[in-house]
Amino acid sequence: MWPADSKAVLRWLFAWPGYLWPFNAVWLLVAVMTWAFLTPNLKTMQTLELWWVGLVLARNTGFTVLLYSGLHLYLHVLQRQGDAYRFTTRPLVVASARFRFRRQAWDNMFYTLVSGVPAFTAFEVLTYWGFANGLLGYGLFEPTSGVFWFWTCTLVLIAPAIHSAHF
């Protein structure tokens, strides 16, 4: 509809469940809390040190286990969503020589924790190191910068669309 109905747009953004509320607001809160309390400050990250790299790796491992275990419990063990949105209705394999640990879920967990988490943690660590050393233009994202608020609002609005399209 054009011109846009402001009440309809606000309802679409913030209704239950809307574009931003509640699910994407929860992910934004998790990101802010992670940055504030579970990420070393940029001054510390100017040098690559094992303790803070290990902290980021441990944090990422913990979040990954928590998220995927919760999803596995909700979707496969408790079957709260049923079969309506499943890619395949076959159950996970539990006794097959095709899998290293004879169980599909255990293989998935092993490869995620041994290769996936370290790979995205390495990317994150290098990105933090680049920001801390002025190689990636972190200064644009200082809260005192007008650019910061523009990009913050833009990313809050487009991140859910990118997430939906990606997954």
Q: Report which of residues 66 and 150 the model is more confident about.
A: 66
pTM: 0.80
**d(Cα 117, Cα 108) in Å, to the nearest integer?**
12
pLDDT value at residue 58: 97
Question: pLDDT above 90 covers what percent of the chain?
Answer: 40
Question: Each residue of 17-47: pLDDT tens digit?
Answer: 888 788 888 888 999 999 999 999 999 999 9
pLDDT tier at 139 (50, 70, 90 boundaries)? low
DSSP 24-44: HHHHHHHHHHHHHHSS--TTG
Question: Each residue of 116-134: pLDDT tens digit?
Answer: 999 999 999 999 999 899 8
pLDDT tier at 87 (50, 70, 90 boundaries)? confident
For residues 51 and 125, the answer to whether their CB atoms sit within 8 Å is no
**d(Cα 117, Cα 163) in Å, to the nearest integer?**
19
* Residue 77 in tokens: 């063990």
Residue 81 scores a pLDDT above 90: no
**Residue located via tokens 């990009």:** 151
Q: Give domain limits for the chain.
A: 49-136, 142-167
**d(Cα 113, Cα 107) in Å, to the nearest integer?**
10
Of the candidates 120, 144, 135, the one whose C-alpha atom is nearest the C-alpha of residue 42 is 135
